[in-house]
Amino acid sequence: MSCTTLLVGKNASNDKSTMISRTDDGRFDVKKLVLVTPDKQPKKYKSVISHLEIDLPDNPMKYTACPSVDLKRGIWAATGINEANVGMTATETITSNPRVLSADPLVEFKKASTKKEKDIPGGIGEEDIVVLVLPYIKTAREGVLRLASLLEKYGTYETNGIAFNDENEVWWLETIGGHHWMAKRVPDDVCVINPNQFGMDCFDLDDAFGKQKAHLCSKDLREFIKDNHLDLNQNGKFNPRDVFGSHTDMDHVYNTPRAWFMGKCLAPFSHKWDGPDAEFTPESDNLPWSLVPDRKVTVEDVCYILGGHYQGTDFDPYKNRDTGKRGMYRSIGINRTGVTSVCQIRSGVADEVKGLEWICFGSTTFSSFIPVYTNVNKIPKYLSEVETNVSTENFYWGSRLIDALADTAYSDCIQQIGRYQNGCFIKSRQIVSEYDKKVAETKDIALLEKANEEICKAARKLTTDTLNIVLHVVSTKMKNGYKLSDN
């Protein structure tokens, strides 16, 4: 499943919060936001895709999740924050190469060919990972270690990147073949840009096999690299992307352009992104995995970037004048996104309110983000009660309707879309500021459920008002319109 990930270290953000964010770009998957309490967490987990059964620990914590409404392909919980204020997003589908995949093959489900034989389960994958890990971890680092143990025991049938954050740290793990992995603590002052490719471009193996301050990996990774002649690096440098990743023509259309756009937004002045002497182009293989932003990064910045469609460039599919480059690269904000989240773990606020999960359903180009306090016992119906049939009674389908309509009349609707998105940010921030103070004074976490309801009430009105306006605009553009009055 293709996605786009953006991570923000605590010293790179405007308010000392850590942020992990990802677009979940599926098959127009209908999504919802739910709270999974310990009594609803399974004791034995069974994967739909790989038919793998795993016994789970007896002490799960409650956590938020964004599962698929239709469970025929599994849960696909996507993202969430648990009651220990640890966030997780899983997964960013990444690339690999034949040398890695032949040395450590992916662990795929094998159907028995005869009645006498038994099915052979596959490994774990995106369908499973949040449910298997998030309820049982109290720090981001613990998330890496738990997931790593599962990968080593059961393997995986796909290549993925997974992010974790707590109040102080952000960690990024990438799978290598069927059973291997490596993980890196994101430096506090940087942002990470990762679009569907093996991302890490530097890694300290000495630290991973020594003090493990900021690097972790499979215990046999050095031998795995050496025995399979995987190291393509020159001059003693170790670039994991060259060893475990890909450099294909398809990357230059589908992946690297998104990294280029994100880098251009985050560091427009410290690097040259355009022109004949550009340091980086949309098709550069050496685009940085992480960079120090030119200014502190806000939630609004993250959401803008994740709605990116190369605005301000010739590659924008909505550009009025075609220069022959319009729409040639895969945008970040696309039509088939089910849910996008920003797991924000904040510092300088009461423990009860540290976790905020910003949720956006549908295409991030046109839809709005709203924050949800995660330290609650229930989620508002506007976010949690979603069916596969279209309805204006929930945030998911309201967002999808706006997306589909506004896309057909972009230039006529985009100003209203901007008002809608800003309106949700403004109203939501006012409510969050109010309830942060109330909970700090009273320690009454029941107030957080009231805050979430107020945020959803405001979002519902803004969504309905925007849908009314966009529908009217698009209706006036219908091809069967006729201006001559019948009077």
Between 256-266 and 299-306, two packed helices, what is the crossing angle to 10 degrees? 150
Residue 133 Cα distances to 123, 138, 245, 249, angstroms: 15, 10, 25, 35
Q: List the structure tokens of 27.
A: 């098959």
Residues annotated as catalytic are 3
How far is residue 409's CA from residue 470's CA, in Å, rounded to a whole number? 9
**Which phi and psi (to 5°) does residue 240 adopt?**
-60, -30
Report whether 317 contacts 331 (CB < 8 A): yes
The 10 Å Cβ neighbour count of residue 139 is 18
The 10 Å Cβ neighbour count of residue 96 is 20
Q: List the structure tokens of 144.
A: 């890496």
Residue ranges with strand state E in 315-373: 337-345, 355-361, 370-373
Q: List the structure tokens of 281.
A: 């182009």
Return the half-sphere exposure (C-beta side, CA atoms, 13 A cut-off) of residue 477: 15
Query: In sequence order, what are the beta bridge partners of 64?
Result: 35
Q: List the structure tokens of 438.
A: 């109330």
Q: For residue 255, what are the contacts with CB-CB under 8 A and spacing of at least 6?
A: 95, 195, 196, 197, 330
Which residue's structure tokens are 């009349």? 409
How far is residue 151's CA from residue 149's CA, in Å, rounded to a whole number? 5
Q: List the structure tokens of 331.
A: 């945008």
Q: List the structure tokens of 154.
A: 């059961």
Query: In sequence order, what are the beta bridge partners of 217?
Result: 182
Report whether 31 contacts 108 (CB < 8 A): no
Helix (H, G, I), strand (E, B) or coil at 74: coil
Residue ranges with strand state E in 72-122: 79-81, 87-93
Closest by alpha carbon to 197, among 330, 90, 96, 307? 96
How far is residue 68's CA from residue 82's CA, in Å, rounded to a whole number? 19
Q: Which amino acid is at 424?
A: C
Q: Which amino acid is at 419?
A: R
Which residue's structure tokens are 């964004």? 66
